[in-house]
Structure 1
Amino acid sequence: MCGMPQQPPIRSIPARPSRPDASMSLITNVMDHSLDDGYAEAAVRKRAAGESGMPRTLKARLGLAVGLVLAALVVTVGAAQARVAAPVVAKERQELIDRIDRETAAADKLEGNVDKLRSDVSARQREALRHSGGNAQADLVGILAGATEVHGPGVKLVVDDAKEATTGGGGNPRETSGFSDTGRVRDRDMQRVVNGLWQSGAEAVSINGQRLTALSAIRAAGDAILVDNKPLVPPYTVLAVGDGKRLSTRFQNSPDGLYLHALQDNYGIRTAISVESDLRLPAAPSVIVRTAQPSSEKGTS
């Protein structure tokens, strides 16, 4: 009895264990596919285009070239506009210079006419005083007041800036003037020079042809020195009428003369003093009689 072929025993395949997170399918899907498929496809296309497109170095060079071209274009346009505007600016500047020159010439002419008229008025006043019994005392008063022209012996003092003005420096005897340029002559310096000459016996003083009176003011406007509101430029020539030799000696030995000598030694300010046999000083341009009283010789009725 033949038996039936024996079949191999059937082995049971163990069941695949289920995932512990099988019940959280939505969360699992989000974790496994964090990037949306559309975004993933776009990233793949971008990488493909980058690999097959223009190299990055060439792109950078092209960008730099474009930037340089644009910069050159801007500079060219600016230069062209400046070239077009330059003649207009130059023309306006020249017109302004010409106008200033014309106005300055007109002002100088008017000032000359005023000086002539003042001289004529002064001459007529002196003539009237002589006809009305003017005396030597009146002439002396006119000289001391600066109302009349004077000439005679005296002293010529020239004060000039240093050749190379230096800035700053301690121990400046002119600190109170508020300037730091120690090589320049300042208004305070000229005030001391003039006061020193008056105290040393000067009868009449002028600076650069500008006659000084008891009411004259020496001030500063920026770097310029003003005498009665008229600007002066260095060198400053001071003329003082008086006993020349004695006036020179007394001034140089006075505190103001020693001050000027210190400026020369310490700051290079240039000075030169000389005794002159004949100096001519003009009359002050604007002397106004403020007070007057009748002469004691004639008396009053």
Structure 2
Amino acid sequence: MSLLTNVMDHSLDDGYAQAAERRRAEGSGGMPKTLRAKLGLAAGLVLAALVVTVGAAQARIAAPAAAKEREELIDRIDEETSAADGLEKDVDRLRGDVGTRQREALRHSGDGDPSDLVAVLSGAVAVRGPGVRLVVNDAKDVATGGDGEARGTSGFSDTGRVRDRDMQRVVNGLWAAGAEAVTVNGQRLTALSAIRAAGDAILVDNKPLVPPYTVLAVGDGQRLSTRFQNGSDGLYLHALQESYGIRTGISVEDDLRLPAAPSVIVRTAQPKTEKGTS
């Protein structure tokens, strides 16, 4: 009976009890490491979820304010655009008024004939007469990216596109051939006119033009056409047609009507007055 009593009183081996006591003394007892790691991970996930939830709540709260600011910015942009359009219309109206007053002053100065000549040559008045119509257009495959050979450093991606310097040569060639007045797509050219490029667009006096480019030149029609086509600029235009597919066409016209320039403003040059001697 003493053996059974001893087994019941000491069911765990003394070695296990000593090992457990030693672990408790070393601080390694209690919860297992795996369980502690899992609990730490769970706590981290809960904290991360809490941060995300708080951030989402703050974003939801701030969204209406951001949308309101965006709408206000769009409204301001629309207002400023409308104001700029209005100012541009005022500028065009004032330029037209200035041009009209200048033409009136030219008509009433001197004996009439010299002022009329000055007005015609300066582009201050509309003119009519015989001349030539020259149409210059991009190559047919310009929209699909033709496979033409690159010409120079134009900056244009499509080699079949008419460039600003092409139109400069066309206009200068017509002047050299005897043109007395020239327009490009209805824009009257003067001594102050400029033909430039802005991206793929061609600007004449800062107004963008779109192809085809129609150039009207008043002068001795047949002679003007012949001299232009036989000159260096006409041959240059023909080379563009042959090499890059740029389309051109020239015809002699009996009656052309060219509008006056919107304004002819000279800010520096002054007329020279001759002083008589006694």
**TM-score, normalised via structure 1 length:** 0.59
Greater Cα offset, 286-295 or 224-233: 286-295
SS at match of 2:130: strand
Q: After superposition, what is the alpha-carbon deviation per residue over 1:200-227, rounded to whole angstroms, capped at 9, x for unaligned?
A: 1111111111111222221111111111
1 CA distance for matches of 2:74 and 2:139? 34
Match of 1:275 in 2: 252
CA RMSD of aligned residues (A): 3.2
For the residue of structure 2 that corresponds to 1:286, the secondary structure is coil
Kindly indicate whether residue 141 of structure 2 is the aligned counterpart of residue 141 of structure 1: no
Counterparts of 1:118 and 1:144, CA distance in 2: 19
Alpha-carbon distance between aligned partners in 2 of 1:246 and 1:96, rounded to the nearest angstrom: 57
Q: Which has the larger radius of gyration?
A: 1
Residue in structure 2 matched with residue 291 of structure 1 by the alignment: 269
Alignment-derived partner of residue 266 in structure 1 = 243
Q: 2: distance between equivalents of 1:96 and 1:253?
A: 56
What is the CA–CA distance in structure 1 between the aligned matches of 2:232 and 2:258, rounded to whole Å?
26
Cα separation, 2, equivalents of 1:107 and 1:114: 10
* Deviation for aligned residue 1:158: 1.2
SS for the counterpart of 2:253 is strand
Task: Describe how 1:231-270 pairs up with structure 2 within 5 A.
Answer: 231-270=208-247
2:163 aligned partner: 186
C-alpha distance after superposition, 1:17-75 (max 9, x if no partner):
xxxxxxxxxxxxxxxxxxxxxxxxxxxxxxxxxxxxxxxxxxxxxxxxxxxxxxxxxxx
Percent identical among aligned pairs is 73
Which residue matches 2:100?
Answer: 123
Tell me which amino acid in the other structure corresponds to 1:238.
V
For the structure 1 residues 192 and 205, does the alpha-carbon distance in structure 2 shift closer, same or farther, using more than 3 Å as the test?
same
1:279-299 CA distances to partner (integer Å, 9 max, x unpaired)? 222222232223223554x85
Partners of 1:146 and 1:284 within 8 A in 2: yes
1:200 aligns with 2:185: no
Count of residues paired in the alignment = 208
Pair 1:132–1:254, CA change in 2 (3 A): closer
Between the aligned partners of 1:299 and 1:192, the Cα distance in structure 2 is 43
Higher RCO (C-alpha 8 Å, min separation 6): 2
List runs of 5+ in structure 2 lacking aligned partners.
1-62
What is the TM-score when the length of structure 2 is the normalising length?
Answer: 0.63
Structure 2 CA distance for partners of 1:110 and 1:272, relative to 1, 3 Å: farther
Change (3 A) 1:271 1:130: closer
> How far, CA to CA, are the matches of 2:277 and 2:122 in structure 1?
26
